[in-house]
Structure 1
Amino acid sequence: MPGDQWMSNTFQNNNWLSNMRTFVFYFIFYHKVQNISSHLMEALLESLVKILNSPIIQEELRLLCGIETEIQKLSSLLTTTKAVIEDAEQKQFTDKAIQDWLQKLNIIAYEVDDILDDYATEVSREPKCNNICCNVLDCLPATSNICFRHRIGTRMKKIIGKFDAVADKRIKLGLSNQQSGSYFNASRETGSTVNEPNLVLGRDEEKDEIVKILVNQDSDNQNVSVLPIVGVGGLGKTTLAQLVFNDENLAEPFKRKLWAWVSEKFDVKSIIKALIESAKGTSIGDLPLDTLQRKLQKLLRGKRYLIVLDDVWNENPEEWEKLKSVLQCGSKGSSIVTTTRMEKVAEIMGTLETHRLSSLSENECWSLFRQRAFGRQEAEEYPNLVVIGKEIVKKCGGVPLAAKALGGFLRFKREEAEWNFVKCSELWNLPQDETHILPALRLSYLNLPVELRGCFAYCAVFPKGSKIEKEEVIHLWMANGLISSNGTMEVEDVGDAVLTELHCRSLFQAVEKDEFGSILTFKMHDLVHDLARSVMEAKHGGTESNRTMMLGEPYHQLTVAFPITITGTDQFSSFLSKCGSLRALIVRSTRRREKFRELPSVVSKLTHLRHVNLSGSDIVELPNSICDLWNLQILNLNDCGKLRSLPKDMRFLRNLRHLCLQRCWSLAHMPSGIAKLTCLQTLSIVVLGGKKGFQLSELRHLNMLKGTLIIRHLERIEDKKDAEEACLIEKQSLRRLDLYWDSERTLQRYNDEEVLEALKPCPNLQLLYIEGFKGSSSFPSWISTVTEVWVEESAAEYIVGAQETTATTAAMSPSLKQLKLENMPNLKGMLGREVQGTPGVFSQLQSLSFGYCPMLTLPLPRMPSLKELDVENCPNMAWASISNLTSLNSLNIEDIGGLSCFPEEMLQNLSLLESLNIKEMKDLRALPRSLASLTALKTLSIVECPKMESLPEEGLRGLASLQALYLVNCYNLVSLSMGTKALKSLTDPLIFGSYATALPEEVKHFPTLQVLYLQNFPNLTSLPDWFRNLTSLQDLTLCNCPKLETLPSSIQMMTTLQSLTIDECDLLEPRCERGGEEWHKIKHIPDLKFQIDYI
């Protein structure tokens, strides 16, 4: 967006000073930073220049006691200072004076931000500005507080003087103008030769896998194939590519092999030149692009070639297409291997599956470190250093570059103190010229776009190795001004895009995703975290700012700038009173018995606060004074299980965007007036009141709501018009809706059906949860537009009832894919009798679950897409109708009393069924012979069926695909059917428990069995000698076999057995210990354990 347009858009709303603070804060946030980001500085200064030169802002600043001349001077200083920031960043690593200069510059900008934010807050509080959408410029002339203006003007003059003094030192420091993004370390360039082949460990399998893919690549494929290798910096992408490039198995199929190091600048001419020089082995000088293209095509034409493009950063598909067009001249089967740190590059270039590089094991890292650190000397000569060295290796996180660099640093050092220094220090405290880690990872950082740098560096405030919640970090980015709306995207969406981009660049690693596939939590690799911290933390920060705090036990965390994290202090109020510039306040309870219980009223004086997080505390209520925090954007009260009410003046928090109330189950009252918080995007729970409490109609204009909305006490709605006025259908960004009625209410008349019909959500809703619904017949037709529906404690008799027209029913469930029905005592069937057999109903349903539906008697309709069916405690189920579910892949049946056998036809037609699980069937005696029809069955599990006596011989003969058989606590099952001979595919665990005195002989017919668990055999005294027939057995577990005393002698000949676990076998365990009577039989087994690892 052009600068003038941005200026106009920004100053036409009342958040203009907040937007200014967003830019200023790039300065502010790094007041303690050692390695300042030049790109952030440059963007900040350029933005300030545009703002200060704007006629609008100049007019307003004249009101501040006539400081026009100073403002002009500040604008000039900003322009000249901006030009030298990039040079300062490069030089600060070796020049302490420049580092100090940047720190002072940041501190000054911090003060500027406070001044502007104070002014913005005062203006926003003017009576004329009570509408959040009003034009702030209309309000500014009305500011009548002369004393306040005078203070602001005086502070501005003072800070401009400081800026002048600091900026003037740029000349003495010898800083020159330099454009950002021009600095790259030439020593990073790579070639095809493995520099230290003896130091390459742990990559043979990956190399062989890639070589096999390249050799076997379809020779009929006319297009060149591209295989990307992706991983974080320092993990060994280049080394792996070199190993592949030089593998002897590629010499014959590939007649031409070329290598080019690409780096950040994807220049087609330079790449082509590098490829030609790789083939010729000599420099060819500077030639025109068309000449280079002809030379390269001459080299490649008609030949099957292999090209490695190493260290690619380009995200522009057009540039890649330019190069690819030149390379489309080889023979069939030609391939390109590219290495990159970014998933997006792999997506653009790759035609084959991406190879994501794994970390080395700790032993492999130790081998690399040992070779570097000790050279030809024997490590055993220094046992104390070996112990320390192995601790150091743990810091490497499986990154070979780290192991080699640290080992090289200690190569000629033999004093324990020197090694302990490395063990106890951060990697970034090592001398710059002694390690290649920092240049490798810094390149990742320097290549980040301007808007990503501060966001990445900020994540250093989280503990190393911790899971970071996406929502929390985005909210903190917002509070600290690191992200802002770009005009087309809300600030939260910008944050989500930033996080996704950092994930694609391998700087973040996704840990958890929600049911919709979005990232919930992520981690940073330890070395990546060290990189972030090196950017955030100065070596000589001192204590000149109260914005950097070191807190005492039991919680100890260094937090740079904002937020300050407070934990367990007895002087909370006093502490907070000294934090007048605080933007984010996080209160965490690290001891379960000492949870935070009361928020001091002094918080209301922290007018700069944007973010307050009290999640997980024992707070019962908030002081009403918190509603004085005009700038508050995020109030996180998640998991405050004792919170009973919200402050009555919540309506004054006009800038509030996120009111997080997840799992606040004690919340009994919400104030009216929340309808005025039109910026709200998160409102986790609403608790409906009576005539005077919160009304559902207050949701009418809150159309920015996103994510999950829980509505409780819907029984308090007297008229369906109140529900209609909520206008849920207009809330396009809601993804989950939970609707609660009090299931224990006793009324003469219920209006649940009318209310539910009126609560029709937008078509984008993906999950609907309904509890306590007492509609007597069925659910509204709009339920079909939701992807997943859970219903619990409902009085409905049908999902689709008789009142539905044939046309409506035929169109039912175009979106519904998952349906979960629990605790529905009146449910008779999915369809009323009048609409049974109607085609098209639930045609897209893929997962169906019933739990405690005792009246469920009607047959299941045909559901052609159903993959999974779960039935629990539904004793009157029409079992035979399951045979209609011909697409079924998984069938789980649990806790059905009174049923001794399933009907024969139940398992017919289920030719696609792969998993059958039967659990807690206390009366079940046998399985139907139609089990034989399950030709695709891979897993059969029978658990806690005490009356089960045998398996059907005919049934097992057809299970040629069965891989896993679980027979758990079926104590009367003393033998297996001879049909087990047909189980030729059984390789996965066989779990068996029985009252039998001996292991059934049928087990010896499982020569492919790899894992065997024998659990809960109270009468088993010995294992048979035919045990040696289990020639593929790798893992054997014996658990709770109290009478088992000996092992068969033949176990000594079972060379494939890798693991033996013995647990709760009182007679056998002591005999199997080293020196015991059974020790000689098992001492050859690599992994011996005397405690079970429960699956």
Structure 2
Amino acid sequence: MEAFVGILVDTLNSMIQKESGLLCGVATDMEKLARLLSTIKAVLEDAEQKQFTDKAIQLWFQELNGVAYEIDDVLDDYAAEASRVKYKNSGCFSLMCYPIAGNLVFRHRIGTRMKEILEKFNAIADERIKLGLIDQKRGSNHFQVDSTGTRETGSLLKEPDLVLGRDEAKDEIVKILVNQVRDNQNVSVLPIVGVGGLGKTTLAQLVLNDERIAKHFEPKLWVWVSEDFNVKRIIKALINSIRETPVEELELDPLQRKLQELLRGKRYLVVLDDVWNENLEEWEKLKSVLECGSRGSSIIMTTRMEKVATIMGTLKTYYLSSLSENQCWSLFRQRAFGRQEAEEYPNLVVIGKEIVKKCGGVPLAAKALGGFLRFKRGENEWNSVKCSEIWNLPQDTTHILPALRLSYLNLPIEFRGCFAYCAAFPKGYEIEIEEVIHLWMANGLISSNETMEVEDVGVAVLTELYYRSLFQAVKEDEFGNALTFKMHDLVHDLARSVTEAKHGGTESNRTMILGMPNHQLTVAFPITITGIDQCSSFLSNCGSLRALMVKSMKEDEVPRNFLNAISKLKHLRHLDLSRSLTVELPNSICDLWNLQILNLNYSLILWSLPKGMRFLRNLRHLCLHGCWSLTYMPSGIGKLTCLRTLGMVVPSGKKGFRLSELRDLNMLRGGLTIMHLERIEDKKDAEEACLIKKQSLRGLNLHWDSERNIQRYNDEEVLEALKPCPNLQLLRVLGFNGSSFPSWISTVTEVAVKESAAEYIVGAWESTAAAAAMSPSSLKQLELKNMPNLKGMLGREVQGTPGVFSQLQSLSFGDCPTLTLPLPRMPSLKKLSISSCPNMAWASISNLASLNSLKIKNIKGLSCFPEEMLQNLSLLESLTIREIWDLLALPRSLASLKALKELTIKHSPELESLPEEGLRGLASLQELHLVDCYNLVSLSMGTKALKSLTHLSIQGSYATALPEEVKYFPALQKLELDDFPNLTSLPDWFGDHLTSLQHLELVKCPELETLPSSIQMMTTLQSLTITWCNLLGPRCERGGEEWHKIKHIPDVTITGPEFELCTIL
């Protein structure tokens, strides 16, 4: 709310300073309103903290929200009127020539509404005094911490019996502290990060009380830090943990010296629990005092904030995972039933397991809900909890949200509205970064500042929420940037509780998501052809709507009357019609003067844009990704100088859009696709697009129609003219008909070329200057697919030129049948993939000494590779050979791959054996995958050298027995045998030799009937999976003939045609 109010104040002051004629008579009221808003803004921090326990303040907040939205509507009306006057009729009108009568009516309406709103705000301002709200910024900058001590933690576990699922995490951390950092000279800091209530403190207690830690560290100290990162207090707490008598009140310096005296020369372990500090200087003050122990001294710090972990940590952050549903049920059951047997209440058990799903793997929630139901045995009471949201349960007894609320109150106040807004999405919804930022923009929750554009502010907010464990990243793009986030279910409950307190369960009808199921804070309709009519009439009552998202349109075309109804929403800033079925938008959409975001992504049958697009002067994002049917764009797009996103452009002839219109759109960011480049008659049009000036553009897709009817081929000239800024990271070229590419292509980080007629990537230098421009190169990733004329990467004129591909790290060829020239020198190349290139110069691969991954696929007519191909590849770690149908043998030079860790051979049915000499040198090999090599009945005795092999997978073999060589794999941990139609038994030596095996999978072995008795001796075996083994499966079920051999295995899973999935625990 503070961010929103702040934006309103800025907007009011901006309008007052402009002294527009439209504001005559209301400027004084606007000044009063700006002062009132500033006064109210000052007490919002205090109100934020008190709203959760004071109903009167909740009501005050709700009143404030409603009136703030009213003034926002008035300001929007002004902006809309100003835009209409200024830009109507192609900008011919101005405020000075606006009809006087219309001007007077508008001013009267604005003045009346302003006086009404001012009166309401006066009442709200007076009420703040009665409620005792104060300006906290005049005092401490931090929110009030827990003064009752209820959150304070210590080193002892409260309930050891209620700790489940953390043994593995404890062991991992203990091993790091005892083994990995024991010789570190500087103090090591290991951060444990996770959402509130996940068990970070419990994990730290488990580690500190472990016997291995006790033998390795002395002393072991614990400090509960909390929000108040006071160095003096922390040092005193550490001293008091060591001394029997409390330290006297001293100044900081003697305290520092005293602590160093007590720790000097000792290998200590300190736990700093519940840390929130983001001040590097304060941390350095404390760390400098602790740099006095002996080698291996360590600190464990727990925090909800990744940012804190980044500031303080020296070791890799340990991200604490959620508990499984079974583990949560065990915690819940112990709390809910105590010593009573849960089986006495079978109906409650069923309900309880549904309740546990609310916990989302958070132990605090499982224990709290279980405790809440401890003495309740009525099904109605349990069903009530099952059907209630956690934010709606009594917080004085469950304590779940108060624990999580600290994360909210610790947020910068201007970020809190953004967090609370995310409650508008359903639980489990993947929130797209671009989508949520656009919604924040539309609802006035973020704005630009002196150094950052509003979109960058949105990214900063999201990053902060992620670093504070309030968001979880789900998907990333090709550059490793997050694309989507999720909120943990309990964090979503927290957001709902905040929204309920502030808004009373409504969002003032400012956001509407149509067609999204289970939606509670916004209006939702199932969109059908009949439902649209319902929505059209409903929209007429939503005059304040800022954002409209239409989802799940399915197979119905969007009716014109619905689109026309949308065009009357004059306050609308965000319109999402993505993935909708509409051929064209009505021109009335262009009446949405305030529209900032128009999302038409993946509107697959959209043919054209309305002619009035030039009037949408506030438009910042025109999202057209995936609109592959778009064939016409109107002229005037170049007038939309606020544009930051323009997903796609289509040159549309003399009367339509021309590439030169991109000239002044230099603030474009993200990706841009230019379709139908074959329509460009003159390269001058492409030059005037000035792509080189668009410094924020990161991706560029250039498409020529492969089925072009135009006989003009000026592809090379056009591509040369479309030279982008060197900041470009990704270039995709489709349908290019030139013989080679311009020199600037090497300035791009990643390039993908498909369906091109080019013979070379670089055929000849355009000039001496162009040759110089190729060095140094920025090109790191190159993908070449479906290029029937490609002969080589470099033409003969430029063969041997240094630096052309000097920085290239990844290279992929696909469907290049004429590729015959040797590969050039590429000193940085790490990954090489070759598919459907039958005439490849295989021997030239040996020149790629830096290669660590090589994939070769689908080469017809090849029976063997040249011996020299694998020579000199001493860094190769992964080799995949697949679909080489005629392959008879692998080269003996395989033995030279000393660093090889993974070898995969797939779909080579003629291969009968592996080269004995070729395997002897593979001492580093860890994984061997043999798939559909049916005639490969033995592995050769060379496999005896594979002492590091941990994973063997054989899928598809006519062998009647497991290859004898498998017994020589002492480190083998996972064995997969799949599609062995003739396998009748496993050898007797199976359990005697494979003593490290942990996972065994038997799939499609129809003749396999029994398991060897020696399997009973395999104490390390953790899981056995039997799938579609018709004879063996039934015998291995509990009580079957083979059950006694496998009953010691913790996880046995059997599936097949005769029975459902059966997991035996």
TM-score, shorter chain, exceeding 0.5 = yes
Asked whether the equivalents of residues 67 and 153 of structure 1 are also in contact (C-alpha less than 8 Å), the reply is no
1:1037 to 1001, 1013, 1024: 1001
**Which stretch shows the higher mean deviation, 479-488 or 594-603?**
594-603
Question: 1:473 aligned to 2:431?
Answer: no
Q: 1:250 to 1:556 in 2, by over 3 A?
A: closer
Q: 1:81 to 1:933 in 2, by over 3 A?
A: closer
- 1:1090 matched to which residue of 2? 1055
SS in 2 for 1:1089: strand
Per-residue displacement from partner, 1:405-447 (whole Å, max 9, x unpaired)? 2222222222222222222212222223213322221111111
Per-residue displacement from partner, 1:281-305 (whole Å, max 9, x unpaired)? 6655754334443443443445443
**Which stretch shows the higher mean deviation, 370-379 or 662-671?**
370-379
Q: 1:866 to 1:539 in 2, by over 3 A?
A: closer
Shift of 1:1044: 4.4
SS in 1 for 2:824: coil
For 1:1037 and 1:252, locate their aligned partners in 2 and report how far apart those are by CA, in whole Å.
40
**Which stretch shows the higher mean deviation, 931-940 or 180-189?**
180-189
- 2:686 matched to which residue of 1? 723
- 2:488 matched to which residue of 1? 525
Q: 1:1006 to 1:246 in 2, by over 3 A?
A: closer
Q: 1:415 to 1:566 in 2, by over 3 A?
A: closer
SS in 2 for 1:126: helix
- 1:781 matched to which residue of 2? 743
- 1:245 matched to which residue of 2? 208
Per-residue displacement from partner, 1:788-810 (whole Å, max 9, x unpaired)? 11111111111122446788557
- 1:118 matched to which residue of 2? 77
For 2:268 and 2:682, locate their aligned partners in 1 and report how far apart those are by CA, in whole Å.
75
Shift of 1:679: 1.2
**Which stretch shows the higher mean deviation, 563-572 or 351-360?**
563-572
Shift of 1:710: 0.9
Asked whether the equivalents of residues 638 and 665 of structure 2 are also in contact (C-alpha less than 8 Å), the reply is yes
For 2:329 and 2:782, locate their aligned partners in 1 and report how far apart those are by CA, in whole Å.
52
Question: 1:185 aligned to 2:137?
Answer: no
Question: 1:885 aligned to 2:848?
Answer: yes
**Which stretch shows the higher mean deviation, 195-204 or 43-52?**
43-52
For 1:1047 and 1:204, locate their aligned partners in 2 and report how far apart those are by CA, in whole Å.
32
In structure 2, give the amino acid aligned to 1:358.
S
Map 1:326-365 to 2 at 5 A: 326-365=289-328
Shift of 1:580: 0.6
SS in 2 for 1:910: coil
- 2:755 matched to which residue of 1? 793
- 1:308 matched to which residue of 2? 271
**Which stretch shows the higher mean deviation, 339-348 or 670-679?**
339-348
- 2:613 matched to which residue of 1? 650
Name structure 1 gaps, 5 residues minimum.
1-25, 27-39
2:915 to 928, 952, 958: 952
Shift of 1:400: 1.9
- 1:103 matched to which residue of 2? 62
Asked whether the equivalents of residues 709 and 736 of structure 1 are also in contact (C-alpha less than 8 Å), the reply is yes
2:697 to 712, 726, 734: 734
Asked whether the equivalents of residues 45 and 413 of structure 2 are also in contact (C-alpha less than 8 Å), the reply is no
Name structure 2 gaps, 5 residues minimum.
none
1:432 to 392, 395, 399: 395
Q: 1:955 to 1:143 in 2, by over 3 A?
A: farther
**Which stretch shows the higher mean deviation, 204-213 or 446-455?**
204-213
For 1:62 and 1:721, locate their aligned partners in 2 and report how far apart those are by CA, in whole Å.
44
For 1:227 and 1:1027, locate their aligned partners in 2 and report how far apart those are by CA, in whole Å.
42
- 2:109 matched to which residue of 1? 151
**Which stretch shows the higher mean deviation, 696-705 or 1009-1018?**
1009-1018
Asked whether the equivalents of residues 781 and 808 of structure 2 are also in contact (C-alpha less than 8 Å), the reply is yes
Q: 1:115 to 1:794 in 2, by over 3 A?
A: same
Taking only aligned residues, the RMSD between alpha carbons, in angstroms, comes to: 3.3
1:161 to 119, 123, 128: 119
Shift of 1:48: 6.1
In structure 2, give the amino acid aligned to 1:536.
T
Question: 1:555 aligned to 2:517?
Answer: yes
Question: 1:973 aligned to 2:928?
Answer: no
- 2:370 matched to which residue of 1? 407
**Which stretch shows the higher mean deviation, 782-791 or 307-316?**
307-316
For 1:692 and 1:133, locate their aligned partners in 2 and report how far apart those are by CA, in whole Å.
21
For 2:100 and 2:240, locate their aligned partners in 1 and report how far apart those are by CA, in whole Å.
71
Shift of 1:131: 9.5
SS in 1 for 2:670: strand
SS in 2 for 1:259: strand
- 1:573 matched to which residue of 2? 536
**Which stretch shows the higher mean deviation, 580-589 or 702-711?**
702-711
Q: 1:715 to 1:348 in 2, by over 3 A?
A: same
Shift of 1:325: 3.2
Share of identical aligned residues, percent?
Answer: 74
Shift of 1:76: 6.2
Asked whether the equivalents of residues 1025 and 1049 of structure 1 are also in contact (C-alpha less than 8 Å), the reply is yes
Asked whether the equivalents of residues 187 and 298 of structure 2 are also in contact (C-alpha less than 8 Å), the reply is yes
Map 1:412-423 to 2 at 5 A: 412-423=375-386
For 1:56 and 1:672, locate their aligned partners in 2 and report how far apart those are by CA, in whole Å.
35
SS in 2 for 1:261: strand
**Which stretch shows the higher mean deviation, 92-101 or 840-849?**
92-101
Asked whether the equivalents of residues 517 and 524 of structure 2 are also in contact (C-alpha less than 8 Å), the reply is no
1:988 to 941, 951, 960: 951
In structure 1, give the amino acid aligned to 2:896.
S
For 2:777 and 2:1007, locate their aligned partners in 1 and report how far apart those are by CA, in whole Å.
59
In structure 2, give the amino acid aligned to 1:788.
E
**Which stretch shows the higher mean deviation, 398-407 or 277-286?**
277-286
**Which stretch shows the higher mean deviation, 471-480 or 185-194?**
185-194
- 1:818 matched to which residue of 2? 781
Per-residue displacement from partner, 1:118-168 (whole Å, max 9, x unpaired)? 11211222237999999x999999895211111111111222223334444
Asked whether the equivalents of residues 512 and 549 of structure 2 are also in contact (C-alpha less than 8 Å), the reply is no
2:801 to 814, 818, 838: 838
Per-residue displacement from partner, 1:237-264 (whole Å, max 9, x unpaired)? 2222333334444445544444332222
- 2:334 matched to which residue of 1? 371
Asked whether the equivalents of residues 128 and 139 of structure 1 are also in contact (C-alpha less than 8 Å), the reply is no
Per-residue displacement from partner, 1:325-346 (whole Å, max 9, x unpaired)? 3334444443332222111211
**Which stretch shows the higher mean deviation, 307-316 or 268-277?**
268-277
Map 1:46-65 to 2 at 5 A: 56=16, 63=23, 65=25
Shift of 1:1083: 5.1
**Which stretch shows the higher mean deviation, 695-704 or 991-1000?**
991-1000
Q: 1:235 to 1:653 in 2, by over 3 A?
A: same
Asked whether the equivalents of residues 914 and 938 of structure 1 are also in contact (C-alpha less than 8 Å), the reply is yes
In structure 1, give the amino acid aligned to 2:1053.
L
- 1:766 matched to which residue of 2? 729
Asked whether the equivalents of residues 904 and 929 of structure 2 are also in contact (C-alpha less than 8 Å), the reply is yes
Per-residue displacement from partner, 1:1041-1072 (whole Å, max 9, x unpaired)? 44445555555555544444444444554555
Q: 1:889 to 1:542 in 2, by over 3 A?
A: closer
Shift of 1:545: 5.5
Asked whether the equivalents of residues 311 and 340 of structure 1 are also in contact (C-alpha less than 8 Å), the reply is yes
Q: 1:191 to 1:908 in 2, by over 3 A?
A: same
In structure 2, give the amino acid aligned to 1:850.
F
- 1:676 matched to which residue of 2? 639
Shift of 1:857: 1.1
SS in 2 for 1:600: helix
Shift of 1:494: 0.7
For 1:537 and 1:916, locate their aligned partners in 2 and report how far apart those are by CA, in whole Å.
57
In structure 1, give the amino acid aligned to 2:103.
N
In structure 1, give the amino acid aligned to 2:58.
Q
In structure 1, give the amino acid aligned to 2:753.
V
Asked whether the equivalents of residues 565 and 585 of structure 1 are also in contact (C-alpha less than 8 Å), the reply is no
Asked whether the equivalents of residues 933 and 958 of structure 1 are also in contact (C-alpha less than 8 Å), the reply is yes
**Which stretch shows the higher mean deviation, 963-972 or 893-902?**
963-972
Aligned length: 1046
For 1:62 and 1:907, locate their aligned partners in 2 and report how far apart those are by CA, in whole Å.
78
- 1:4 matched to which residue of 2? none
Shift of 1:279: 3.4
